[in-house]
Chains A and B, each alone.
Chain A
Amino acid sequence: MSEPRAFSTACHRSLTRRGASFLAVSPACRQAFVVAFAGYGLAGPAVFFLLVLFLLPVVGVFFIALTDWQLGAGSFSFVFLANYREAFADPTFRASLANTAVYVLIVVPGTLFGGLTVALLIESGKSCRSFYRAIHFLPFMATVTAMAIVWEALLHPTIGLVNQIFAAVGLSTANWLRNENTVVPVLGTIGIWQNLGYAMVLFLAGLKSIPRDLYDAADVDGADLWIDRLRTVTLPLLGPVSMFVVIVVALRALECFDAVKVLTQGGPGNASEVLLYTLYRESFEYLRTGYGAALAVIFLAMVGILTLINALVMDRKVHYQ
């Protein structure tokens, strides 16, 4: 906010110095106008699309959520909070919320500990670093839709590799994706598989930023066993990164859609109905536009809360360095 003020005072000062003649604009002032003009010209197109493609739709979604609009219907009426009330009373949406929560609670800790462990192991030695990093990062960038189809083959009740191995070592097999007790944990496992490399890379960056001097100081101070080094230096200094990983992985888990769409379509029953899948189905399959918009608002609120926590925590951790 200081910039515009600086701009106007500079103009003001030069105007008064020149006897407040509005026609005789000072060169400094003209320069400021030229720059501002260029600013609008350069930012203009992007701002236009930001308004049309982002701001307008967000406002729109809040507005539509207050109506009973069904796409294709000519008219609609305001129902205010009825869509939200309906959502929280709807067993499908409740199941969806609960499943999403379980999914997030599986994916976040699994990814966090998996990613941290792999990162610590990779960083603890010098050889093959980029090889291991590449392998573990691969699922993160592979097309989820295609890989979900592969997972379906792996989890196939009769010919899937998973059941073959389980049977071979004497564990009980299951129809993983058609059993309501196993479907969310299995989706969670796929989620961990997919995001572990992402967490690993963030942790590797975090580990790199720990000053070497601290490990030397720990050596001299007597904290020279690996467990002591971990407790005295590594883990505390990874604190902020870990918090960040928790949030971004939670956000990604909240946006789980592709695997559900490919593998389970929310089934069996409502057992794998997740937030974004419900949103998709209500909005675009059942065309319940007003209701779908309300779900979108709820989804946005959850993302907003996580982002807010992230911002607050990041702020608080600044004193670390």
Chain B
Amino acid sequence: MSAATSVNRLSLLAGILRHVVLLVTGALILVPFLWMISLSIKAPGEIFHASFSFWPVQFYGIENYKKALTETPLLRYMGNGLMVCGLILALQILLCAPCAYALAKLRFFGRDLIFGLVLAGLILPHQVLSLPLFIFGYKLAILNTYSALILPYVVSPFGIFLLRQFFKTIPDDVVHAARLDGLSEFAIVWKVMVPMALPALIAFAIFSVVGHWNDLFWPLIAVRDLSLMPPPLGILVFKNEEAGSDYGPLMAASTLVVLPLTIAFLAAQRWFVEGLTGGAVKQ
């Protein structure tokens, strides 16, 4: 029995070691987040007076957050972000779902060619397209409008791909039964396939919203007016104005920008992980 107890003791030790290492790496990962919150509630004097303490001597949070919300149109930025992400997602689903259904379940000449186009779009980094899209927007005179932020993303090759893969797993008999019940192809997409593909749709929605909420590259090119800026661009402008001197409000603004997705992530961790990596695994 002594062998068994020594094995137990060893596995207990290994278990403790596991927690120790993971807590240390986890803490290192969290340092920027914690420091962000810490600075956002400290007074300028305290920030410049070097110290390790997380909690401020004098709680200055209200002032910092008020300043972040009043000196910059931060709420406007976040509203812009919400609207742009929402519209992009809605249009993407509207365009991608029927196309994915056609690619998955219908036979027609040129289908493989279209799927090839989707795959090519899938591996294209969007930054490569920015220059022609910029010129395109210039010619259409939509630069510096919401349209410029939304239009390049109305169709998502990844969305088509993901939904097509999911639709493929739905048996053909479901489609046949729906046709016998008198549904049109259009109705089959929206009343049968899309509801069944809800998990894939949620994963895609998270992928899309996270990607566009965080995007800096394209908004930097497409818009100049403060009133149109999404959060990352807005906060960059704020930082450049402050020239990095007034950390308190800047950190408060950062916290507010990061917060919505973080809360959503903590509430629906599994879906986020699936949405942000599931596509990668399937590629």
Which residues of B have CB within 8 Å of A29? none
* Nearest CB of A to B138, in Å: 8
Which of B56-64, B82-90, B197-205, B268-276 sits within the interface? B268-276
Binary flags per residue of A23-38, CB closer than 8 Å to B gives 1, else 0: 0000000001001111
| B251: Cβ under 8 A from any A Cβ | yes
Which residues of A have CB within 8 Å of B281? 202, 205
Which residues of A have CB within 8 Å of B280? 202, 244, 248
* Nearest CB of B to A227, in Å: 12
| B55: Cβ under 8 A from any A Cβ | no
**Distance in angstroms between the alpha carbons of A144 and B232 in the assembled complex:** 8
Which residues of A have CB within 8 Å of B39? 150, 153
| B8: Cβ under 8 A from any A Cβ | no
Q: Number of A-B pairs whose CB atoms are under 8 Å?
A: 298
A149 touches B239 (CB 8 A): yes
B127 touches A299 (CB 8 A): yes
B117 touches A258 (CB 8 A): no
Q: A46-B155, A280-B217 are known contacts. Are A300 and B32 too (CB-CB below 8 A)?
A: no
**Distance in angstroms between the alpha carbons of A75 and B274 in the assembled complex:** 49
B32 partner, pick from A35, A150, A226, A279, beta carbons under 8 A = A150
| B236: Cβ under 8 A from any A Cβ | yes
What range describes how many residues of B lie at the interface?
A: 35 or more
**Distance in angstroms between the alpha carbons of A193 and B186 in the assembled complex:** 45
B120 touches A43 (CB 8 A): no
**Distance in angstroms between the alpha carbons of A4 and B221 in the assembled complex:** 43
**Distance in angstroms between the alpha carbons of A220 and B89 in the assembled complex:** 52
B107 touches A146 (CB 8 A): no
Which residues of A have CB within 8 Å of B221? 280, 284
| B132: Cβ under 8 A from any A Cβ | yes
A205 touches B277 (CB 8 A): yes
| A47: Cβ under 8 A from any B Cβ | yes
| B128: Cβ under 8 A from any A Cβ | yes
* Nearest CB of A to B103, in Å: 7
Given contacts A127-B19, A153-B250, 14 further A-B contacts (CB under 8 A): A36-B107, A42-B101, A43-B114, A50-B121, A118-B25, A132-B26, A143-B231, A145-B216, A146-B258, A150-B36, A159-B50, A258-B232, A262-B236, A304-B123
List A residues at the B interface (Cβ < 8 Å): 1, 3-4, 6-7, 32, 35-43, 45-47, 49-51, 53-58, 60-61, 64, 71, 114, 118, 121-122, 124-125, 127-128, 130, 132-147, 149-154, 158-159, 161, 164-165, 168, 193, 196-198, 201-202, 205, 226, 244, 248, 251, 255, 257-258, 261-262, 276, 279-280, 283-284, 289, 292-293, 296-297, 299-300, 303-304, 307
16 A-B contact pairs sorted by A residue (CB < 8 Å): A7-B109, A35-B108, A38-B102, A41-B185, A45-B98, A46-B98, A50-B117, A64-B131, A137-B273, A139-B32, A141-B210, A142-B258, A143-B232, A151-B32, A159-B47, A299-B128
